[in-house]
Amino acid sequence: MTVTKLTLLSPAKLNLFLNINGQLENGYHELQSLFHFLDYGDEMTFIASPNQNNTGTVNLSCNIKALESQDNLIFKAANKLKQHAYDTGLARCSGLPNIQIDLNKKLPMGGGVGGGSSNAATTLLALNKLWNFNLSIPMLETIGLSIGADVPIFVNGQTAIADGVGEKLTNYPIKEKWYLVLTPKQNVNTAELFSSPLLPRNSPKIPLDEIKYQGIESQFKNDFEKLVYNRYPNVAKSLDWLLEYGPARMTGTGACVFAEFDTQNEAKEVHNRLPVDLTGFVAKGCNTSPTHQTLFG
């Protein structure tokens, strides 16, 4: 029996800025955001085990048992990929090794660092390799978009500016710095934020050739930040504390907030000052996702 094992880091992302440019007739929002990866995330191990029942069955075990539900985006990613392979003739119903996925969850759920989307994208990339589909990255991005708006950025694996509803990606490498990310114990309701009349929806779209991102201290912003700050006291508390040490910003729709540093020691020094009621981690920014670094070198 051949058993193939693949262990990947499913990384966090930061939105270094996030502008809402408008709302479409279908209710989706147009946005413009700069996505950047961190060398910190969930660990995912994939084990392919060919046997007499090669139907591509996927099983998931996780250190957080509630995440083993079929609602997990990992299952949706595996099913979407398998269905695409069946529809296009890449795979036969009895021709795929079964997969065991072990997920060691470290990223906060609902924190705005992309944990679920990252897991889904890592699953697409891993199974594309283990099932020998050899689908292109653009094709995997298309499959990923059917799972969630942030999945394609993780499949793409490069620091990029996202336009549209998040599906139009332009790679945009920046200077890699260190980040202190605070993880407030707060469940932010993303759907409520998107439906709020207080959410800014008229930020002008910046022409790509005019985006000159120099760091968090620049003029860029997150259009969700004020709304979340006013509604969620734990986010406000974390952001206020971090602002004492320099420019800070919220990522995504929250709840995580972050500050940027030139060196690991600077970030760790501030992390060591965290009061007991605040939590966070230090990580390095990566222009290439750790997942891509492992898979593609």
The span from the CA of 81 to the CA of 104, in Å, is: 22
Our answer to whether residue 240 is catalytic in this structure is no
Structural domain includes residue 291: no
Does 294 fall in a domain?
no
Please state the rounded mean pLDDT for residues 200-216: 92
In a shared domain, residues 74 and 186? no
Q: Does residue 238 share a domain with residue 113?
A: no
Same domain, 121 and 223: no
Tokens, residue 205: 């779209």
User: What is the pTM (predicted TM-score) of this model?
Assistant: 0.95
Amino acid at the residue 185: K
Does 205 lie in the same domain as 104? no
Let me know if residue 293 belongs to a domain. Answer: no
pLDDT category of residue 28 using cuts at 50, 70 and 90: confident
Catalytic residue from among 80, 82, 150, 223: 150
DSSP string covering 231-268, please? H-HHHHHHHHHHHTTS-EEE-TTSS-EEEEESSHHHHH
pLDDT in tens, 148-179: 989 999 999 999 999 988 789 999 999 999 99
* Last residue within a domain, chosen from 155, 172, 189: 172
What CATH number is attached to the domain comprising 224? 3.30.70.890
Distance CA 101, CA 189 (A): 28
Number of structural domains the chain divides into: 2
Element housing 7 (H / E): strand 4-23
Give 82's DSSP letter: H
The answer on 85 and 197 residing in a single domain is no
Residues 26, 156, single domain; the answer is yes
Structural domain span for residue 210 = 178-286
Mean of pLDDT values over 274-295: 97
| 207: pLDDT strictly greater than 70 | yes
Which of residues 172, 200, 222 is at a domain's end?
Answer: 172
Does residue 191 have a cis bond before it (omega within 30 degrees)?
no
What CATH number has the domain bearing residue 134?
Answer: 3.30.230.10
Is 150 in the active site?
yes
